[in-house]
Amino acid sequence: MGTVTLGVSIAVPEPHGSLLQQRRASFGDPAAHGIPTHITLLPPTEADPAHRPEIEAHLARVAAAGRPFELRLSGTDTFRPLSPVVFVQLVEGASACSWLQERVRAPEGPVARELAFPYHPHVTVAHGISEESMDRAQDELAEFEASWTATGFALYEQGADLVWRLQRKFTFGDSDDSSAAFSAVPRQVAQPLPACDDEADSFAPLS
């Protein structure tokens, strides 16, 4: 039956999300219009469609154990030369994102996987384009600022056209089941995809 490609992320809200997506496109990044602006919690991961109910139940438990937290973006940085990515920096909320992504990828969960790079949450604004264009992205967004309260995260699926589409939103604390809470270290295994924009984002973390 094949597999589907899934990702989990926190969306950057409007008007900031559309602004950064438009700017990414303006730098010549061909992936810009297929990837909603986000902070990745689970990079592109192949999964059996039959496991979707289990995956969604797992994500609902993770969200139920979470609480809203503040996120703030400020300025730019790059993973070059290790990875051809320019990103907007996450200067507040990184520890909460790390907590979430560890639980999303919990070893005993349905989307357990290792990352190609250490997790470093960020918002990609250029990936795999010319050095000149990446320099431009890093310079022109150097003064970018945005902040908001994260109230949950979402599951996305990548189509055959390489566009990532929202599948389901998960709200923090949205459960009456006390067993949903996780201890300090949470809970067969999906296959990681080859390096791509989101793998680079997972050098942090869909990109």
Domains of the chain: 4-173+194-201 (3.90.1140.10)
User: What is the reported pLDDT for 129?
Assistant: 98
CA dist., res. 37 & res. 4, Å (int): 21
How many CB atoms are located within 10 Å of the residue 19 CB? 15
Per-residue confidence (pLDDT) for residue 174, from 0 to 100: 78
Residue type, 96: A
pLDDT in tens, 44-99: 999 999 999 999 999 999 999 999 999 999 999 999 999 999 999 999 999 999 99
Q: Tell whether the model's pLDDT for residue 207 goes beyond 60.
A: no
Per-residue pLDDT for 196 more than 80? no
What distance in Å separates the CA atoms of residue 187 and residue 110, rounded to the nearest whole number? 9
User: Which tokens hold the place of 127?
Assistant: 């990936």
pTM (2 decimals)?
0.85
The secondary structure element, H or E, covering residue 113 is none
Q: Which of 4, 85, 107 lies closest to 40 in space, CA to CA?
A: 85
Average pLDDT over residues 128-133: 98
Give the tens place of pLDDT for each residue, 140-174. 999 999 999 999 999 999 999 999 999 999 999 97
pLDDT at 198: 46
**Cα–Cα distance between 4 and 9 in angstroms, integer?**
16
Task: Say how far apart CA 195 and CA 177 lie, in whole Å.
Answer: 37
Helices (H), the chain: 16-26, 52-65, 94-104, 131-140, 197-201
Cβ partners under 8 Å of residue 172, min gap 6 = 63, 64, 66, 67, 68, 150, 151, 152
pLDDT tens for residues 15-44? 999 999 999 999 999 999 999 999 999 999
